[in-house]
Amino acid sequence: MTDSVRENLIDGENGSLYVNNKWERFTDIHCHCLPGLDDGPSTMKEALALCRMLAAEGIATIVATPHQLGRFESFNEAATVREAVNNLNESLKNNAIPVEVVPGGEVRVDERICKLLESDRILTLADGGKYLLLELPYQVFIDIEPLLIELASMDIQSIISHAERILPTAAQSNLLLHWLDQSAHFQITASSLLGDFGPEAQRAAWDFLTSGRAALVATDSHDIDSRKPRMRTAFRHISDKLGKELAHLVCIENPLRVINGRDILPLSLCDQKEIDR
Ligand SMILES: [Fe+2]
């Protein structure tokens, strides 16, 4: 075991990790934690159980990202999500669970997205107006460059959700470079790095990281069983394989930048000597 991984194994209060000489907690930018809205928890009790697990993982802030558009068309509009976030935060406080939830959405790709943003019907991450979590279809590959350009004209940057599951063979393709040029970012799922979605998604997830094309890791957790948050273990695996600087950037620094409306930093800023490919 490397020194960096040994250091990251020190556990602190509220699931915090000791990294770079200080205690750190994660921000999760993609999580289905709101009760009764989508394929996440059905009840407040289940939502609290998931949030308790997220807190134990070391997550301080969760962006609630219920599905919007696609099969959830007409449901989960911005006002509904904001109200559900307020209710969950109140229950978290009453149950002394140390996490904060902020509003967001996982928005299915749709030609009406810009208009729906203007009429406040779908949500950007942390309601900040800077980053939109965009879900692409699984079955067909579509070029979203026109939508990325339209969003960029509104000063909104897109984050492609669970890219490793949607683009498993495309991690090296030139098309993705065009998307990156249009202010797109790629989010990969912590549990994919650990093999929970099979070898193809696992390979693609690591490929996205080692090629420097994924800037963010999130849990995309739905429950405490089959789709549970695995940020802590993923962080340790990334530290071990690619260095703690890169792990810190994709799991801690960049997710925090998203909710604070700051620019996402590229992986090229990491010390390449630390990367053991
Ligand atoms: Fe999701």
75 CA to centre of ligand 1 in angstroms: 16
**Distance from the CA of 49 to the center of ligand 1, in angstroms?**
18
Residue 271 lies in a domain: no
Domain encompassing residue 49: 3-263
Q: What is the pLDDT of residue 10?
A: 58
Domain of 125, CATH number, reads 3.20.20.140
- Does residue 186 lie within any of the structural domains? yes
Q: How far is the CA of 158 from the centre of ligand 1 (A)?
A: 15
Residue 169 has a pLDDT of: 65
Domain assignment present for 165: yes
The pLDDT value recorded for residue 36 is 96
Cα 161 to ligand 1 centroid, rounded to whole Å: 7
User: In tens digits, what is the pLDDT along the chain, a chain of 277 residues?
Assistant: 455 444 555 566 667 887 777 788 999 999 999 999 999 999 999 999 999 999 999 999 999 999 999 999 888 999 999 999 999 999 999 999 999 999 999 999 999 999 999 999 999 999 999 999 999 998 788 889 999 999 999 999 999 999 998 876 655 577 788 888 888 999 999 999 999 999 999 999 999 999 899 999 999 999 999 999 999 999 999 999 999 999 999 999 999 999 999 999 988 767 544 443 3
Number of domains composing the chain: 1
Q: Is residue 85 in some structural domain?
A: yes
Whether residue 270 lies inside any domain: the answer is no
What pLDDT is stored for residue 73 in this prediction?
A: 87
Question: What is the 189 CA–ligand 1 centroid distance (Å)?
Answer: 9
Would you say residue 273 lies in a domain?
Answer: no
Q: What is the 3-state secondary structure (H, E, C) of the chain?
A: CCHHHHHHCCECHHHCEEECCEEECEEEEEECCCCCCCCCCCCHHHHHHHHHHHHHCCEEEEEECCEEECCECCCCCHHHHHHHHHHHHHHHHHCCCCCEEEECCEEECCCCHHHHHHCCCCCCHHHCCCEEEEECCCCCCCCCHHHHHHHHHCCCEEEECCHHHHCCCCCCCHHHHHHHHCCEEEEEEHHHHCCCCCHHHHHHHHHHHHCCCEEEEECCECCCCCCCCCHHHHHHHHHHHHCHHHHHHHHHHHHHHHHCCCCCCCHHHCCHHHCCC
pLDDT in the model for residue 274 = 46
Q: Would residue 116 count as lying in a domain?
A: yes
| Domain assignment of residue 277, yes or no | no
Give me ligand 1 centre to Cα 64, in Å: 10
Cα of 35 to ligand 1 centre, how many Å? 14
Per-residue pLDDT, 5: 47
Gap from CA of 110 to ligand 1 centroid (Å) = 16
